[in-house]
Amino acid sequence: MDSSVHLDNVVMQFGDFTAIQKSDLKIESGEFFSFLGPSGCGKTTILNMISGFLDPTEGCVKIGGQDMAGVPANKRPTSMIFQNLALFPLMTVAENIEFGLEVRGVSKSERKKASDRLLELVALEGSGHKKVSELSGGQKQRIAIARALAVEPQVLLLDEPLSALDLKLRQHMRTELKEIQRKTGITFIYITHDQGEALTMSDRVAVMSAGRIQQVADPITLYRDPKTAFVASFVGENNAIQGKVERIDSGIAEIHCGELGVLKGRVQSSVAVGEEATLFIRPEHFRLQAEEGMLSIAVEIEEVNFEGAYLTLSTSTAAASKQNLTIQLGAHQYNDDLAKGKALSLSYNVSDAIVIGGDSNA
């Protein structure tokens, strides 16, 4: 069955405020798709448009190729897991799960069968008679998933469903969600402001900022080849160095970074000679020993943080501009020499650095 979701040039405005800028996006059938972005960027608004609680100001939402304009929320093949779960507190666990089937006129015995099967799926067999208030956070979470799956939706919408859980449970639920998605094969649209969550679970991720979709890509591409300065600094850690483009040659830009001299990196997008650009180098791409073809930057250690498996060094350049750079090293590289005040030469491969046009703060 085609359960793709197409946001066909949608715009969402509240009064004069544009919550979603014109976006065109196709989510494939059976895909685990995430929207990642900071609070207030419009993630919930997108889900509300897909589920029918909001009508886009312009454009339309298509599910399975069908235009959803005029189809009310209760007639759409979507099911949502709310940011605060929104379980019905006055109903038992089983009644919660069966609600969607009750609406569809399914007989009591069939409903019971379905809720038993779903409780088993979320590993909560035998809790059907319990009150919602008797459940722990993680259990409530799983009941919300079971309730949403009970109506056999084509598209499951998840609005930061794990944000209220503690770290351990969150990691556990990630694997469970992924597993449920694999078993059921339905389209998952997942919303989060946690990049770890988005990167580990998704087939593809859309990174959003202030109502605009910045980039849509699979997690590895997003990490390696961010297309905008926002994506480069929002997804993973990144060091940003401002400069002016001097030369572009077969995909490599040379940029003049003030007192740091000329640095190079792969051209990523909208870079033009003579204009401002930002060079991004991830902390793990710096080396302490220069190899053939690497570029180097002289710095001084400001702080050493030992974090278990790895080590981060905060450094700043000797130059008056005091450019801050963060470096990540494997824990095995630790030695007593690495202390505050020590001068280092940081080297990087040109292919690991990327250059994006414009000011990174823009």
Partner 1 sequence: MLNQLKARFGSGLAIGIVGMIAIWLIALVIMPQLLMVDYSFRPNLLPADIGGPKDTYSLVNYETLFSNQIHLKIFFKTIWSSVLVTALTLIVSYPIAFYLAKVATPQKAALCLLLLIIPFWINEILRTFSWYIILAYKGPLNAALLGLGLIDRPIRFLSGDGGVLIGMVYAYILFMIFPIYNAIESLDTNQIKAARNLGAGWIRTHWRVIIPHAKPGIATGCIMTFMLAAGSYAVPALLGSPGSRWFTQIIYNWFFEGGNWNQGAAYAFLLLVICIGFIALVMRVFKVGLGDIAR
Ligand X SMILES: Nc1ncnc2c1ncn2[C@@H]1O[C@H](COP(=O)(O)OP(=O)(O)OP(=O)(O)O)[C@@H](O)[C@H]1O
Q: Which residues bind ligand X (CB under 6 A)?
A: 14, 17, 19, 37, 39-45, 193
Q: Is 115 in the site for partner 1 (CB under 8 A)?
A: no
The distance of closest approach from Cβ of residue 245 to Mg ion in the complex, given in angstroms and rounded to an integer, is: 38
Let me know: does 295 contact 287? Beta carbons within 8 Å: no
Q: Which of partner 1, ligand X, Mg ion, none binds 272 (CB below 5-8 Å, type-dependent)?
A: none
Structure tokens at 335: 């030695």
The distance of closest approach from Cβ of residue 176 to ligand X in the complex, given in angstroms and rounded to an integer, is: 22
How far does Cα 124 stand from its chain's mean position?
A: 29
Is residue 22 helix, strand or coil? strand
Which residues have a Cβ under 8 Å from the Cβ of 65 and sit 6 or more positions away?
Answer: 2, 4, 6
Q: Using CB under 5 A, which residues numbered 38 to 67 contact Mg ion?
A: 44
Nearer to partner 1, 94 or 241 (CB): 94
Could you count the other beta carbons within 10 Å of the beta carbon of residue 249?
9
Q: Where are the beta strands (DSSP E) in 137-186?
A: 155-159
Let me know: does 284 contact 238? Beta carbons within 8 Å: no
Could you count the other beta carbons within 10 Å of the beta carbon of residue 113?
13
Half-sphere exposure of 29 (CA within 13 A, CB side): 8
Q: Using CB under 8 A, which residues numbered 35 to 64 contact partner 1?
A: 51, 53
Is residue 91 helix, strand or coil? coil
CB burial class (10 A; 0-12, 13-18, 19+) of residue 210? middle
Nearer to Mg ion, 44 or 51 (CB): 44
Q: Which residue is nearest to ligand X (CB)?
A: 44
Nearer to partner 1, 100 or 265 (CB): 100
Q: Which of partner 1, ligand X, Mg ion, none binds 84 (CB below 5-8 Å, type-dependent)?
A: partner 1
Q: Is 133 in the site for partner 1 (CB under 8 A)?
A: no
CA distance 244 to 355: 11
Q: Which of partner 1, Mg ion, ligand X, none binds 100 (CB below 5-8 Å, type-dependent)?
A: partner 1
Q: Which of Mg ion, partner 1, ligand X, none binds 90 (CB below 5-8 Å, type-dependent)?
A: partner 1
Stretch that binds partner 1, among 18-26, 60-68, 71-79, 195-203 (CB under 8 A): 71-79
Where do contacts with partner 1 occur on this chain (CB under 8 A)?
Answer: 51, 53, 72-75, 78-80, 82-84, 86-88, 90-91, 99-100, 103-104, 147-148, 150-151
